[in-house]
Amino acid sequence: MRLHPQPSVRIGTVGFVAHVHAFGDDALGDRDAVGLVQALRAGEVSPAELVDAAIARVEAVNPTLNALAYDAFDRARERAGARRPYGGYFDGVPTLVKENVTIAGLPNMRGTDAWEPRPEPADGDFARAYRATGLNFLGTTRMSEFGFSASAEHPRLGAVRNPWNPGYTAGASSSGSGAFVAAGVVPIASANDGGGSIRIPAACNGLVGLKPSRGRLPLDKELRQMPLGIVANGVLTRSVRDTAALYREMERVYRNPKLPPIGDVTGPSTQRLRIAVCTQSIDRDASPEVHELTLKTVALLEELGHRVTVIDNPVPNRFKDDFLLYWGFLAFALVRGGRRTFGPSFDRSRLDNLSLGLEAMAARNLARLPVAIARLARTGRITARLGQTYDVLLTPTLADVTPPVGHLDPTADYQQIMDRLLAWVGFTPLQNATGDPAISLPLAESADGMPVGMMLAATRGHEATLLHLAYELEAARPWPRIQSG
């Protein structure tokens, strides 16, 4: 187990964009996770070869991307070399896990260095279920501090950089997972989403990122105890079939009886959908460039026979303030309860300005919190009504293109960070409040060659609708490949 805190940038230029990736002629090749399962079953590769290749890829790109938190390489090699298979569809496929997931033997530092690391005694609920699919854990990936920022740029641990161009952010909070999957280190990595933290790195890194319905996948204890369950676990992948296969396999391990099953979604549906499109976020209109890219996705959907209608944003203006206050309350609980939760070494002076600013904002407004939570809990009524007329809502994942590292500098003034953050991520928080599923797909590209995500949302329990549509869009407009620049 080793901490990997400091990056050293090594850039290889492809055209006018600096791509950093690890794809090559090794056991992993350029296969996705389902492709690796097929290769394992055919005897073309072994679990040990896959783990060795993935570790070599981590070591090749991490000095630039700074995406690894802690490694479990020795344990992964031991598991890969075991004579007895561990079982599960993905048995032998290497993966990485977001740092805030509780994993036996590894620290759960949640993107900060504000206390002394200590190994967790046992897997949490999500890690147990994720491991049961057969995936082999190589270690944990970096994230923004407590997941509050949409860019991981820690003042001492450094920034997680985008493999499409290391001058840009990899998004957050599941930034390390997004960077490593995009760079070809592993085909699938865990992520979770409390305000966009699966979908934002998916959009920044050109990946598939599905935030599932509330309760679809298990949560660790501390997340289950939140007053409003805005967080959902999931994964980041390079292909729709990997995401669909993961949810199929997780459903065999953990089944929520309150939700309809997703089942085995293997391709497009023949059903033509009623799709609403909106380019107005809770804070602003999408930038002109992102607006035009969204209209290109609309044109594609219409070419495929779907009915698309432009609508105004149905969310009231107060949603932004309510959601921000709830985020602040989470920071308040973490900061004020830091020594009790993280141990006597907790030092609030080591927290970044965003965490401390959110805590201070919440402290000033605690009297408003019960009303804010109550209103957020009722937000699902808005999308339920929308769902009576439309099957899917299309928006851009983010209101603007991916910014450079430094745009969301956590050492800047709190208000500057918050103003920039809200202006960029105004589309994603809605589904965290409603509990609805939403998927970001890399259907567009900015003028400077960076991926741009488009987000499709449905009502709670209808992930299968999104996956069927995602398969169709992937076939109609295959996403750019970082290794083919």
Residue with tokens 């804070």: 283
Known active-site residue 46: no
Measured CA angle at 18 (ends 17, 23), to 5 deg: 115
Residue in 271, 485, 18, 469 with CA at minimum distance from that of residue 477: 469
Which one from 144, 149, 151, 197 is the annotated catalytic residue?
A: 197
Which one from 173, 174, 190, 440 is the annotated catalytic residue?
A: 173
Residue in 177, 117, 175 with CA at minimum distance from that of residue 147: 175
**Calpha distance 206→458 (Å, rounded):** 21
Contacting residues for 361 by C-beta, under 8 A, at least 6 apart: 324, 325, 328, 414
Residue in 320, 294, 306, 280 with CA at minimum distance from that of residue 455: 294
**Cα distances (Å, whole numbers) of residue 418 to 148, 283, 291, 320, 415:** 10, 12, 23, 12, 5
Residue in 156, 155, 158, 162 with CA at minimum distance from that of residue 200: 162
Residue in 50, 48, 20, 19 with CA at minimum distance from that of residue 32: 50
**Calpha distance 212→436 (Å, rounded):** 7
Known active-site residue 98: yes
Instruction: Provide the 3-class DSSP secondary structure of residue 103.
Output: coil
Burial status of residue 387 (CB atoms within 10 A of its CB: 0-12, 13-18, 19 or more): buried
**Calpha distance 213→435 (Å, rounded):** 5
The tokens of 25 are what?
């002629």
DSSP tally for the chain: helices H, then strands E: 17, 17
Residue 32, CA atoms < 13 Å, CB-side half-sphere: 15
Residue with tokens 């409003």: 228
Known active-site residue 345: no
Residue pair 187/36 in contact by the 8 Å Cβ criterion: yes
Residue pair 72/138 in contact by the 8 Å Cβ criterion: yes
Q: Which residues are catalytic?
A: 98, 173, 197
